[in-house]
Amino acid sequence: MDNWKTGNLVANGDFNKGTVGAMPEGWELIAPNTALAPIFRLVKDGQKSMLMAMGNGRQECFGYVRHRANFDPEKTYLMRVRLKFEDIDDLNRHTLNGVFGGFNDGIFEYRKDGEWIIGESRFPSPENPGNCEVRLYFRFSANGKIWWDEVSIQECEPVAPRPVKIAVSWGTEDMAYWSNWLDIAGEKNADIALLPEMFNGKGVKDAEPLVDGETGKMLAEKASKYGMYVSASYYEQDGDVVYNSAPLFDRKGKLVGKYSKNQLYDPEEDQGATPGIGLPVFDTDFGKVGIIICYDSWFPEPTRLLAYKGA
């Protein structure tokens, strides 16, 4: 969709209406703390009008402009902004471009297009969108500047669904049980089957190679037989080091990669296990996934970092 204007819910989204030096027509400045209000104003670059925001000399600078937008229920919309900036080191920290009100959504990814930065996102509206407004934030920059050239929200084709069937499990059983469990998951056409931590019942002293041991071979065989992804946690012998690892096997039984538990529970270290390093993400045919294991979930950082990496 190259045309930013047709059906745009944001009237004056190109900032062509208004007086230079003042707010663009239809836009309102909101600053919860007036002492920290950034400077917003309409500027001209040749024949082109833009909305400029700049810091007020204080790092705590915070405020936004808003414009009313009316959404139809249960439609899909494409929101786009075109902007450029200077003295800004983290765009997602220093600006936020989104919809607020009856529902919230917005733009979180940007790409470079010549001298401009394009941010865009597709999202559905709920059954009752309510009263909504578009907001363009400028925040936490003493001297930075942002110029918005265009803001557009247009109805678009719905986002194609990506249904994923997940088989999950819990408990402590023997390998025969888990082999049968994977058969059941495969027969029910699971896209991915997830088994518990240390599901094979073997401790640190009984660790085995990740792929070539009894456990890895069984997981790979089931993944290949049923055309599903499979992941589980067990102790991996890697040279003279033992990790609590979770391999991910693809639909052909090939190893996609592994994650080794970063946050070991204290007794695991006492028994001789070594913590892993890094939080990888893995591409699958239904999306990008990350893995955490048990005690990892007690800490916010692993999940946050995986999300930053696109999981």
DSSP secondary structure letter of residue 262: S
Tokens 């913590």 belong to residue: 275
Report CA dihedral (220, 225, 230, 232) to the nearest 10 degrees: -50
261 catalytic, yes or no? yes
Written as six digits, the tokens of 52 are 């400029």
With a CB cutoff of 8 Å and minimum separation 6, the contacts of 254 are 220
294 catalytic, yes or no? yes
SS3 content of the chain, % helix, strand, coil (to 5): 20, 40, 45
Report angle CA 149, 30, 69 to the nearest 5 degrees.
60
Beta bridge partners of 192: 166, 229
Report angle CA 300, 305, 311 to the nearest 5 degrees.
110
Q: From the centroid of its chain, how far is CA 163?
A: 18
- Residue of 197, 202, 217, 221 marked catalytic: 197
Secondary structure of residue 80 in the 3-state scheme: strand
Strand order in the sheet with 110-113: 39-45, 48-54, 145-155, 76-86, 116-124, 110-113
197 catalytic, yes or no? yes
Written as six digits, the tokens of 188 are 């029910």
- Residue of 132, 150, 208, 261 marked catalytic: 261
Burial 109-132 (b: 16+ CB within 10 A, else e): ebeeeeeebbbbbebebeeebeeb
Residues belonging to the active site: 197, 261, 294
